[in-house]
Amino acid sequence: MTSAATPRKVNLAEKFARFDDHWAPRIAGRYNSNEIRLAKAAGDFQWHSHADTDEMFIVIEGTLRMEFRDHVETLGPSEFIVVPRGVEHFPRVPEGEAKLVIIDPADTANTGDPATAYRPTDI
């Protein structure tokens, strides 16, 4: 983590190397009221939406297939998508593993429901 008094760079490869589980985001940094979450992903997540916030997914490695009720977007490395608040989406990684940066407001439930959400921890 970085300190407000002393900015420090963050090496994504080093942070990703610290965990192996899928769809369990880790907090790599914070700014304003947002969390920079890192996630490894494989297979399917679940249909969900966020009523009060947009969500940004940036693909670092692999392929992310973002399904919506009316279309599909396939993202590769160096691509991102912003899912507007209230829009149902289904993230999936059809082959292998993807490494993602997800930007959410602090304490946003990754499933859209705090009762079923994974609580991200700092790395």
Pair 39, 24: CB distance under 8 Å: yes
Q: Tell me the CA distances in angstroms from 2 to 32, 46, 105, one per residue in order.
A: 13, 32, 17
Query: Mind listing the pLDDT tens digit for each residue in 9-46?
Result: 999 999 999 999 999 999 999 999 999 999 999 999 99
Q: Which amino acid is it at 61?
A: E
List the alpha helices (DSSP H) in 1-111. 12-16
- Ordered alpha helix ranges (H), the chain: 12-16
Q: Which domains does the chain have, with CATH numbers?
A: 12-105 (2.60.120.10)
Rounded to two decimals, the pTM is 0.90
Average pLDDT over the chain, rounded to an integer: 92
